[in-house]
Amino acid sequence: MKLVLFDCDGTLVDSINVIHTCMERTFEDFGLERPALAHTKSIIGLTLDIAIAQMLDRSVDEEVSSMTARYKEHFMLHRQNGGALENTYDGIVPLIAELAAREDVLLGVVTGKSRRGLNAILEHHGMTRSFFTTRTADDCPSKPHPAMVLECCAETGITPDAAIVIGDAIYDMQMAASAGARGIGVAWGYAPVEALLAAGADRIVRRADEIAGLI
C-alpha cells in the first residue's frame, strides 16, 4: 500500500493570481512596497505568517501577525465578492479519480492553506471523498517540518518509506526528505525544476498523466 500526499497550491490548483493580488493589497495597506510576482511565488507552500515574515526577511512579529490577519480579510473579500475558486491544472481531476480507485493507494493532501480554504477547493472540484487524510496550516507546523507527512502516515498506518509527496515547492521536497518519504516535483507549479531537484526531488513530472505510472 502506498500513501500519496499532494500539495495543493501550485500542484492541484493554480492559485497564484489570487494569492499575489491579496499579498499586494496587504503590503500596500501597511505602507510597504508591493512584492514582485516572483517573490510571492517563492513563498507559496509555507504557512501564511511564516511566508510573510520570509518576504520581509524577519521573524514573525506583531506586524507580521497583523499582516497575516489582513491578508485573510482580503482573501475572504475576494470570495464574498464572487471571486472564482482556483482552477485545477490540466489532468488533475482524472488523475485523482484514477488513483482513488486503486486498491494499492491511499490519497492525502498536505498544504500550507487553511482548513477552510482546502475544504472549499476540494468540494468545489468534487475531490473531497478521494482523499483519505489531509493536513493544513491549521493542523501542523509549516513545511518543511515533517509533521504533515508523519501525521498522515500515523493516521493511515503506512510507513514514511511507502509515502510519496507530490508538490511544486522546494518546501514540499524538503518535507518529504525530512520525513523519510519520496518526493516527486511537478514542473507546472511555481518553483524552477532545478530548485526542486536541489531540494531532494526523486523525480520530476511535466504532465499529470505521468504520475500514476510512477506510483
| In a shared domain, residues 148 and 189 | yes
Q: Are residues 28 and 115 in the same domain?
A: no
> And the C-alpha cell for 184?
516527486
- Report residue 102's pLDDT band, with 50, 70 and 90 as the boundaries: very high
pLDDT of residue 81: 84
Cα(39)–Cα(36) distance, integer angstroms: 5
Q: Which domain holds residue 133?
A: 2-14+87-214
Q: Which of 43, 59, 80 is the last residue of a domain?
A: 80
What total number of domains does the chain contain? 2
Closest to 148 (Cα-Cα) out of 55, 59, 49, 47: 47
Residue 66 shares a structural domain with residue 137: no
pLDDT over 80 (residue 73): yes
Query: Can you tell me the distance from the alpha carbon of 215 to that of 50, in angstroms, rounded to the nearest whole number?
Result: 32
Q: How far apart are the first and last CA of the chain?
A: 10
Whether residue 147 sits in one domain with residue 47: no
33, 61, 80 - which closes a domain: 80
Distance CA 28, CA 25 (A): 5
Angle at 11 between CA 65 and CA 70, to 5 degrees: 20
Tell me the per-residue pLDDT of 134-154, one tens digit each, with 9 for 90 and over.
999 999 999 999 999 999 999
Q: Which three cell numbers stand for residue 76?
A: 475572504
* pLDDT for position 79: 83
Q: The domain that contains 123 carries what CATH number?
A: 3.40.50.1000
Domain shared by 38 and 126, yes or no:
no
Nearest CA to 50 among 65, 36, 39, 35?
65
Q: What is the pLDDT of residue 201?
A: 98
What is each CA distance from 205 to 195, 201, 209, 211, in whole angstroms? 14, 10, 9, 7
**31: which DSSP letter?**
T
Evaluate whether 186 touches 174 at the Cβ level (below 8 Å). no
pLDDT of residue 85: 82
Are residues 52 and 156 both part of a single domain? no
Q: Are residues 47 and 121 in the same domain?
A: no
Claim to verify: residue 99 and residue 63 sit in the same structural domain: no
Whether 103 and 189 share a structural domain? yes
194 and 166 housed in the same domain: yes
Q: At what angle do helices 48-55 and 16-29 cross, to 10 degrees?
A: 60
- From 26, 46, 80, the end of a domain falls on 80
